[in-house]
């Protein structure tokens, strides 16, 4: 295995472990139903922890195993965003995907990494296989970051007793003041 392949595999495993750490200790009910207060207000569409995990695996499998590896796997992208899963099921998806990535990386040559990808999704983008693999890492990292921020919001709501009132989007903190306070001419509110 090349140094690139080894580093790639380690980074991908690290990211999936970070996602699993972000959802550690969250009940299956919250994994599948909880969204931050701002989502309840209807101002944002925010995916649940479980759907994020299923999407990370689905998108990652698509980019690595299907687009680059040529695996005859089907994907229902829209279903990923409403998927229900337990932490164990998400971990199983990762544990199923990553060994297949290992096998793919073991067999890819430098020439194959540098080759233009021929999957329908990437034909008009003029992307190489290497670029798609890097995009899969980038995409995974992006959603791991989403889960980590969402975890902070979840912990905050658990600490505050999960007062699920609709937040006032205008009264968001701005420095040491609130927007509504500034509009009313108050300072250091």
Express each pLDDT in 92-131 by its tens digit. Answer: 999 999 999 999 999 999 999 999 999 988 988 889 999 9
The pLDDT tens digits for 156-188 are 999 887 555 544 544 444 444 444 444 555 444
State CA 187 to chain mean position distance: 39
Above 60 in pLDDT, residue 79? yes
Ranges of each domain in the chain: 3-183
> What average pLDDT does range 46-50 have in this prediction?
93
Residue 59: which of 27, 16, 10, 28 has the closest Cα? Answer: 16
Separation of alpha carbons 53 and 31, rounded Å: 10
Q: Classify residue 66 by its DSSP letter.
A: I
Give the model's pLDDT for residue 174: 46
Instruction: Detail the DSSP E strand segments found in the chain.
Output: 173-174, 177-178
- Could you give the percent of the chain with pLDDT greater than 90? 68
Q: In 3-state terms, what secondary structure has residue 128? A: strand
Tokens representing residue 126 in the block: 């003029």
Which residues, other chains included, contact 118 with Cβ-Cβ below 8 Å and sequence gap of 6+? none
- The reported pTM is 0.82
Which CATH number applies to 3-183? 1.20.120.450
> What rounded mean pLDDT belongs to the chain?
86
140 in Cβ contact with 12 (< 8 Å): yes
């Amino acid at each position: 295995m090349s140094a690139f392949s080894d580093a790639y595999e380690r980074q991908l495993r690290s990211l999936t472990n970070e996602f699993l750490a972000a959802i550690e200790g969250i009940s299956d009910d919250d994994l599948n139903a909880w969204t931050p207060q701002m989502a309840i207000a209807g101002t944002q569409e925010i995916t649940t922890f479980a759907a994020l995990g299923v999407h990370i695996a689905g998108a990652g499998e698509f980019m690595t195993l299907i687009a680059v590896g040529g695996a005859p796997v089907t994907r229902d992208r829209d279903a990923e965003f409403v998927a229900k899963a337990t932490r164990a099921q998400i971990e199983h998806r990762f544990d199923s995907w990553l060994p297949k990535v290992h096998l793919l990386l073991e067999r890819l040559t430098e020439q194959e990494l540098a080759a233009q990808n021929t999957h329908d999704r990437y034909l008009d983008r003029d992307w190489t296989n290497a670029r798609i693999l890097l995009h899969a890492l980038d995409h995974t990292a992006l959603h791991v970051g989403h889960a980590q921020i969402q975890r902070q919001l979840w912990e905050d709501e658990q600490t505050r007793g999960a007062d699920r009132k609709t937040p006032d989007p205008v009264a968001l903190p701005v420095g040491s003041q609130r927007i509504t306070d500034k509009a009313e001419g108050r300072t250091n509110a």
